[in-house]
Chain A
Amino acid sequence: MLSRMTIDRPKTGQESGAADAFLVIRNVTKTFGTFTALQDIDLDVRRGEFVCFLGPSGCGKTTLLRAIAGLDQQTSGTISINGRDVSHAPPSARDFGIVFQSYALFPNLTVNDNIGYGLVNQRRPKAEIAGRVAELLKLVGLPEQGTKYPVQLSGGQQQRVALARALATSPGLLLLDEPLSALDARVRLRLRDEIRTLQRRLGVTTIMVTHDQEEALSMADRIVVMNHGVIEQVGTPEEIYLKPETAFAADFVGRMSFLAGVARGGGTVDVNGITLRCADDRGMAAGSRVEVGLRPEAIQVRGVTGKEANALSVTVEDLEFLGSFCRARLNAGGRLELLADFSANLMRDMKVEAGQTLAVALPADALRVFPARNTA
């Protein structure tokens, strides 16, 4: 889909190694009246990195993106892009391209004019603009569509045009505000790959806001999980999924069963009288209330002899068929309840049925311990 094209790399200023922070956010707070949308945000984004802001609606991710763009200025705190403090600069002085969920294409201008919109203002020669626009159209896989109007294009094509428009001026920073949310599921998957490939090739530092965990896991170099205006965790997709630091992050990304219990010290937690061994109890003081989390796919079923750590006898209460696997609700004598994903293979081999009793083990290194949430 993407043609082999040479495209100017973004202006990078003084290169000082790949790991230098391109975007630095310090103590950014944003309040609307009495409502705090962002609270004391600190974040570094490296040059050329693809970062996703992930969180439920109202968590402040879009507010943070708009503060970075200068569209809604932060109440306090500083933002610098490429070593330059832009905390109080208007958007036009910040060097970024932006793509919105609504595409925001100018309906009365052709695709060519939309993409060239920022170039015309730089007073470049017509031929140069035309060349650049054609190049960008090829880049996003829409050659020959330049003379059409936005309404004549599909949603996915419109979003590609919006992407080309944002990249036209070779900005140092690309901001994507839920760019795929308005699209059909299939188009979304394809565009996801295209944006990722394009971003890698151009090496443009990119921030994408999304509420779709799958999107964030598959596209991002690093994910910033946000909730209630604060950052819950920053990490690679693997870190976020396998080693969530907070119960919220664990709950929001992927499925997890939570068991309320009390820390007993020495890597053990008591859950309704069942003692569970955890590889890492994260230094929870003995006697403190905790939650133990376990991904449904981590439960061990095959070859359980009863001698493993955390071996339990459970009853299969309920099976939910989900195509390639089944999600089971397991109950250990009414003392704890767990979700478990059984592959079709396992279902056949072990002849799992509702009401059956199974021996399972909860691997100690898969159990995550969190401080108890207030609501839980």
Chain B
Amino acid sequence: MSMALDRPEAARRGISEQAVATTLIGALVVALIVIIAIPLWALLSKSAQDSNGAFVGVDNFVRYFSTPALVRSLVNSVWVSALATAIVVPLAFVYAYALTRSCMPAKGLFTALSLLPIFAPSLLSAISLIYIFGNQGFLKGWLFGNTIYGPLGIVFAQVTYCFPHAVMIIVTALRMADGRLYEVADALGTSKSRIFFTVTLPGARYGLISAAFVVFTMVITDFGIPKVIGGQFNVLATDAYKQIVGQQNFEMGAVVGLILLAPAVLAFFVDRMVQQKQVALLSARAVPYEPKPQPVRDYALMVYCLLIGCVLLAMLGVAVWASFIRYWPYNLTYTLANYQFANFEPAGWGSYWTSIQMALCVAGFGTALIFAGAYLVEKTKASPFLRAAAHFFAMLPMAVPGLVLGLGYVFFVNAPWNPLGVFYGTVTVLAVNTIAHFYTVAHITAITALKQIDAEFESVSASLKVPFWVTFRRVTVPICLPAILDIAVYMFVNALTTVSAVIFLYGATTKLASIAIVHMDESGATAAAAAMATCIVLTAIAAKLLQLALDRLVFGRMQAWRKR
């Protein structure tokens, strides 16, 4: 190579800048391998071992499929998930249609209503259902002797829990409509229904497919709802819990985990395929669709949204209300007694504060790691191979349900060879697991925000001999503050509400609020469980409101440069 030996000062620094970038990306890849890839590998290898750690190939799978009780859970899981999906997707489609394609009033309110379940742990809707239709429920008679404890309750609760996710996906798909197509169809004298079936539905087709897969995966891997309202009805997620926590049968737990991985991985690839097609659907010259008022349709849709919104609100509100009731349903006077958590759980309020502590760690460290990592992947030019590797590992958690990742962590952290074993049961491992669990969505948000920034900023900085980390601090971070805040709140809310990943990982002194809810419900203290869930919901909503306020007030003033 014809490298000049008498390289001046600037050249040496330039080389080291490149070296810094390469080192940082290397460190990022190592971190992602440790927190994502190795736990998954641990799960995978565990499923092929016997209890002594010897390799047994597919023996565990053979044993699984020859145990009728376990196979029944698989069948149960599949049909319950399919049914919930078949109900959610059409409901969400009409709701999303109303939000995007009608002129109904109060769209903001209805959007907010549809997102409500996101701020609660999944099992909150199950607790509400128990209060409404359970043994002591005030509408128990509506079930005509059927019991809510079982598939009926699971499906109902899952529908509420998955609804916001389905609505968000379909809304995005419906928004990407070319208004000109509708004008052309109109100009050709096409009937409204024909336009719907030839333009609207095909346009949203990919969104619907994507939503169906996402919902199916969410339902089949969710642990909280079947745990609370499943009764004697076994599903895969509760099986995994019983195998691991109840029977200490780690190998069989690993097998169940891997079976749960299948639909999630399938959903992941379908989603990626669908997204590529969806993008191609909308050309750069498309004009956004603007709905025109049609009073009959608009009011019909509003009534529909109001109905759904009330159900969603009730699924949240009943549990909140019940948490203030002295003794359901016999003594309906109000009390704060259910919030004296020490009376129901040894940890008392401690678990709430542990949750807050963990969620703050996740929001703080997680956001810093994810955003800086996304910057390295998107904006630096060092080592294309390492950057591609980092991006791959960052996208991986999307295909891994929380329960599966949690299992992987159990095997990984408890492995005798692992020096990180000392972290078992600490807030650190809970936080790291949660960061890994929700990494992908935050990573995509960061990448999207970074892509919107002029790609030449780094080139300009290099020409001015300013190293990239100065530009990162002085320009990139300030520009991306709203996205960074968005990621932080997303991480915070999910860290508060997650159950499935952390249920295997907490220690004696680090029981999280969401786990305390499961335990209090298990021991019959449903009102206290509802009370704890209420605390989580209120905290999560407060965090979201704080974000909106910050966005509007502080950033509005601080970031005068955004306005003309």
Contact = CB atoms under 8 A, between A and B. Distances in A.
A100 B456 contact: yes
A93 B559 contact: no
Interface of B: 1-4, 7-8, 10-11, 13-15, 17-18, 454, 456-457, 459-467, 470, 474-475, 478-479, 559-564
B459 A102 contact: no
B6 to A, nearest CB: 9
A169 B460 contact: no
Given A88-B3, A92-B17, A92-B467, A108 B559 contact: yes
B11 A90 contact: yes
Contacts of B560: 149
A134 B563 CA distance: 25
A150 interface: yes
Contacts of B456: 100, 102, 104
Contacts of A92: 10, 13-14, 17, 462-463, 465-467
Interface string A70-99: 110000001000001101111111111110
Contacts of B465: 92, 118, 121-122, 169
A69 interface: yes
Contacts of B479: 107-108
A151 B561 contact: yes
Contacts of B466: 92, 117-118, 121
Given A117-B464, A169-B464, 8 more contacts: A90-B462, A92-B466, A92-B467, A108-B559, A109-B561, A118-B466, A122-B465, A171-B463
The 10 A-B pairs at the shortest CB distance, nearest first, are namely A118-B464, A90-B14, A93-B11, A91-B462, A149-B561, A104-B456, A92-B14, A93-B14, A108-B478, A98-B463
A131 B467 CA distance: 24
A102 B454 contact: yes
A166 B462 CA distance: 11
B14 A107 contact: no
20 contacts: A90-B14, A91-B462, A92-B463, A92-B467, A97-B463, A98-B459, A100-B456, A100-B459, A100-B460, A104-B454, A104-B457, A106-B474, A117-B461, A117-B474, A118-B463, A118-B464, A118-B466, A151-B561, A169-B465, A171-B463
A165 B8 contact: no
A152 interface: yes
A154 to B, nearest CB: 11
A269 to B, nearest CB: 47
Interface residues of A, number: 39
A107 B561 contact: yes
Contact of A91 (B14, B454, B562, B564): B14
B561 A78 contact: no
B463 A151 contact: no
A102 B2 CA distance: 34
Given A89-B11, A90-B15, A117-B466, A98 B460 contact: yes
A71 B454 contact: no
B449 to A, nearest CB: 13
Contacts of A169: 464-465
A183 B457 CA distance: 20
A84 B4 contact: yes
Contacts of B562: 107, 151
B324 to A, nearest CB: 47
Contacts of A88: 1-3
A106 B475 contact: yes
A175 B459 CA distance: 12
Contact of A165 (B7, B464, B478): B464
A165 B460 contact: yes
Contacts of A87: 2
Nearest to A93: B11
Nearest to B8: A93
Contacts of B561: 107-109, 149-151
Give the dominant DSSP class at B's interface.
helix
A166 B463 contact: yes
A96 B463 contact: yes
Contacts of A95: 10
A169 B460 CA distance: 12
A152 B14 contact: no
A107 B454 CA distance: 10
Nearest to A95: B10
Contacts of A70: 462
A121 B470 contact: yes
Given A78-B2, A85-B4, A121-B470, A151 B563 contact: yes
A99 B561 CA distance: 21
Contacts of B13: 92-93
Nearest to B456: A104
A93 B463 contact: no
Nearest to B3: A88
A374 to B, nearest CB: 34
B474 A109 contact: yes
Nearest to B1: A88
Contacts of B478: 108
B460 A71 contact: no
Contacts of B470: 121
A45 B13 CA distance: 27
B207 to A, nearest CB: 32
Nearest to B15: A90
Residue with the highest number of chain A CB atoms closer than 10 Å, among B17, B474, B561: B561
Contacts of B464: 97, 117-118, 121, 165, 168-169
A178 to B, nearest CB: 12
Contacts of B559: 108
B7 A91 contact: no
A89 B564 CA distance: 40
A109 B464 CA distance: 16
Nearest to A99: B460
Interface string A108-124: 11000000011001100
B459 A71 contact: yes
B14 to A, nearest CB: 4
A175 B463 CA distance: 10
Contact of A69 (B454, B457, B459, B564): B459
Contacts of A118: 463-466
Nearest to B466: A121
Interface in A130-158: 149-152
Contacts of B7: 89, 93
B318 to A, nearest CB: 47
A90 B7 CA distance: 12
B17 A90 contact: yes
A100 B455 CA distance: 11
A108 B454 CA distance: 13
Residue with the highest number of chain B CB atoms closer than 10 Å, among A70, A90, A117, A165: A90
Contacts of B10: 92-93, 95
Contacts of A69: 459, 463
